Structures are given as C-alpha cells and as structure tokens.
Amino acid sequence: MIAEDMMKLGKKSSVIREIFEYGNKRKQEIGAENVFDFSIGNPSVPAPESVKKTILDLVENMDATELHGYTSAPGDMEVRKAIAAYINRTFDAGVNAEDIYMTVGAAASLTISIKALAQQGDEFITFTPFFPEYRVFVEAVGATLVTVASREEDFQVDVSTLEKAITEKTKAIILNSPNNPSGVVLTEETIQGICDLLEEKQKEYGHAIYIITDEPYRELVYDAIEVPYLINYYDNTIVGYSFSKSLSLPGERIGYIVVSNKMEQARDVFAAVCGAGRALGYVCAPSLFQRVAAKCIGQTSDISIYKRNRDLLYRSLEKYGYHCVKPDGAFYLFVQALEEDANAFCERAKKYELLLVPADDFGCPGYVRISYCVTTEQIERALPAFEKLAKEYEH
Ligand code: PLP
C-alpha cells in the first residue's frame, strides 16, 4: 500500500494549474495572442541585468568546485553575513548571520518553519484569502490549518475575530503581506493589534505562539507603502522570504528563513529549522544562486511595470462595474465575481477567452483572482473582453 493522502495530492492539480493548462491548449487552438491568460503568478518582468552579470562573473571567476559544491546546510556563511547585513541596514532588526537559513524559495521557507514547530494536533492560523498551499503544508505534518476571515471591506485582519480562533493548541499564525491573492498590505495598526493579542494569549496559555511571515512579495509595493518588518514588533517571529518575485527568479528556487534571535530558546528553534530542512531532504539551497542572491540583494526587477498594469486594470475594471479592494502590492487583483458562483463566472469569462481563477480554494467563494504579471499590451487587448463580460450582467 502507498500513502493514499500523497497519491490524492498528486492526482489533484490546483485550480490555477488546471486553468493554466486549459490556456495552453486554447493558445494552440486559436493562437496565443487571442487568449487572455490571467491565471498564474509567474513574474512577467525579467530579472535585473545585474543578475545575469553576477551569474557570468561567478561562473567565470569563482572556483568551480566551490561554486557548484555543497554549502553547509544552513547556507554559505559569507552569503548569510551579506543577508543579515542587508536586513540590518534596511530594517535595523539586530539579525545575525547565524539566524539565517538559506532555502529553496518561500514554499520551502514555509514547509521547514512549519515542520520545525509542529507537533501532532497543533493548529496553525491564517487569514482568508490565503495561498492554498498553506493547507497542504500544514496538513502534511499532522497539524490543522484554521482559517480566519479577514474584514471584507479592506481585507485587513480583524483582531477580535482572530481572538475567537486562538486556542490552547495554536502553535503559530501565518501572515502573508503583501497578500496573494488580494494584494493587500497589512497596516502597522493591524500588525500591532495582532502582536498585542498574541502577547496576551501567550501569557494566558503559558507557551509560545509564533508568527511565521510569508513574504515573497515584500518589495512589490506601490505608492511608497511601508511593509512592517515583523521581527521589530514581535519576538517569536520566523521570517520566510524568497527571491522568486523580487528578482524574478521563481524557477531558480532561492530564499531564506530568519529565526529572530529575540525569541526565547532562539538557538533551539534555529536547530529545529536545521533539523526540519534535514528531515525534508533539502541538503542545502542552490550554491550558485545563494551567491547571486547575496550579491543582488536589495535590487528588484522593474516593478514600475506591475504598477502600470495595476493602475490600468484597476481603473478600467472599476469603470466597467467590477468591485475590488485596490491592491497596494503583489501582482494580483481580487475581484468580486458578478454572480454568486465564481466558478460559473469564470466559465462565462472563458467565452471571451478571459482566464481568471475562482477563489474558492483561497477561502473566499464569490471572488476571482486576476494575475496582472502579464504584458501591459495583453491587458490593453483584454479590456474590451472584460467590458463585454460585465455587460452580460447589467440587467
Ligand atoms: N507564498 C505565496 C503567498 C506565494 O504566492 C508563492 C508563490 O506564488 C509562494 C509562497 C511560493 O513561492 P516560491 O516560488 O518562492 O516557493
């Protein structure tokens, strides 16, 4: 007998993947230029030129056995020093190189952090709408994902709703800001409210409740919005970061974890992170891209393109009668479907070759996600289709 839960997981592809595959088929049938695929979150802006230069420089000038060899499990020490220095320069967070663990992207930052903390029966809380893989990651370690509804008017966390969901079994809260799929950035006031509540609850239950941040979109913010750095607000914080979106390197699999050294037993928690990485068989993050990340940290792809896309799409959709909270970051628009059933709405959108993702798996039935990490030209060409779709619902 094999592991049935894993078999089920392998057989069931995500809604996003299904729509993406449908789009590929449709593109072959009617031509790529006639399909308006807004399904997937693959950065559409290339990595900055400095990434290419750094790769070439490393390949040409660094000793090949070292460059392509194993690093120590938490990562190369010079890389970890460079990342800690950047974090301290930028956020003044008092982080040491020894607190950094290099990972293969945000997904691994999460699976490792969750495995490092979870005991059978623990609860991990997150907020709707949420990245659907959280459920997979949490359930894989025998824990339960508890979902708490965000405020519908602005998708900020309502602290009193959160309070009702916290129990003796709560091990951690997973925070994703800027958020996939809403694009919302949690305000400092919201963060402070969550942290104050958790401090209280830790005292009440007499054990730690951790915050795990999932922040692959940290730098993808528009209009000078600040994204609070959690280590400066809450001691029991584990930061999960990825370069997938900021440097447009999702296929290269590179990111890191920071275990705040301000938490109690920080070295034991860090050891648990190392143990979880080991148990999951990660060995070490890609050696070449650890070095690329260290040298290019602080730079980003040309984010002005995403801002242009957001402004164009948001303005146009509002004009056509759609409703959504204006996103401050990431590259998604989270829109109310024009009928109750978002799946039926997405089916109807296909008539106009518009590929949108229903948000049921994100914990928000009745909404759809539109990924605007596409060319601005695709958005311009798709606008009449969005307008026609809205008109169908006018009477
Ligand atoms: N978390 C969120 C919220 C995401 O949107 C994604 C990818 O889209 C991930 C994690 C996984 O990112 P990575 O490719 O760095 O593993």
| CATH classification at residue 329 | 3.90.1150.10
Shared-domain flag, residues 80 and 25: no
d(CA 171, CA 267): 18
Q: Does residue 96 lie within any of the structural domains?
A: yes
Kindly state whether residue 232 falls inside one of the protein's structural domains: yes
Q: How many domains does the chain have?
A: 2
CB proximity list for 105: less than 8 A, separation 6 or greater: 216, 242, 243, 244, 250, 253, 254, 255
Are 92 and 211 in a shared domain? Answer: yes
Of 296, 326, 344, at which residue does a domain stop?
A: 296
Residues 154 and 199 in one domain: yes
Question: From ligand 1's centre to the CA of 391, what distance in Å?
Answer: 34
Run of H or E residues at 346: helix 342-350
Assigned domain for 63 exists: no
Cα→Cα distances 171→323, 329, 336, Å: 35, 28, 32
What pLDDT does residue 196 have? 98
Note whether 234 and 211 are same-domain residues: yes
Please give the distance, rounded to the nearest whole angstrom, from the Cα atom of residue 65 to the centre of ligand 1: 31
pLDDT at 23: 94
Given 296, 317, 351, which residue is the final one in a domain?
296
Q: Are 328 and 178 in contact (CB under 8 A)?
A: yes
pLDDT average per 10 residues of sequence, the chain (395 residues): 93 88 94 93 94 98 97 98 98 98 98 97 97 96 97 95 98 98 97 98 98 98 94 98 97 98 97 98 98 98 96 97 94 97 96 96 96 96 97 88
The parent domain of residue 81 ranges over 68-296
- Cβ(194)–Cβ(155) below 8 Å: no
Residue 32 CB-half CA count within 13 A: 7
Which DSSP string corresponds to 24-71?
HHHHHHH-GGG-EE-------SPPPHHHHHHHHHHHHHS-HHHHTS--
d(CA 133, CA 148): 16
pLDDT number for residue 224: 87
Domain finish residue from 229, 263, 296: 296
pTM of the predicted structure, to 2 decimals = 0.96
Helix (H) or strand (E) holding 106: helix 105-117
In the prediction, which pLDDT does 17 show? Answer: 86
Quick one: 151 and 256 in the same domain? Answer: yes
In a domain, 56, yes or no: no
60 domain-assigned = no
Q: Do 134 and 164 lie in a common domain?
A: yes
- What spacing in Å lies between the alpha carbon of 64 and ligand 1's midpoint? 30
What tokens does 93 get? 């967070």
What is the predicted pLDDT for the residue at 394? 87
Nearest ligand 1 atom to the CA of 109 is 16
- Which residues have C-beta atoms less than 6 Å from ligand 1? 41, 105-107, 131, 176, 180, 214, 216, 242, 244, 250, 255
Residue 158 CA to ligand 1 centre (angstroms): 24
Q: Do residues 86 and 183 both lie within one domain?
A: yes
**Closest ligand 1 atom to the C-alpha of 104?**
16
**177: in domain:** yes
Assigned domain for 181 exists: yes
Choose which residue among 113, 180, 215 to substitute to test ligand 1 binding: the one with the highest number of ligand atoms within 8 A of its C-beta.
Answer: 180
Q: Do 335 and 227 fall into the same domain?
A: no
pLDDT of residue 14: 83
**352 and 309 within one domain:** yes
Q: Identify whether residues 369 and 277 lie together within a single domain.
A: no
How much distance in Å is there from the Cα of 40 to the middle of ligand 1? 11
Same domain? 175 vs 91:
yes
Asked if residue 79 is part of any domain, the answer here is yes
For residues 154 and 100, membership in a common domain is answered with yes
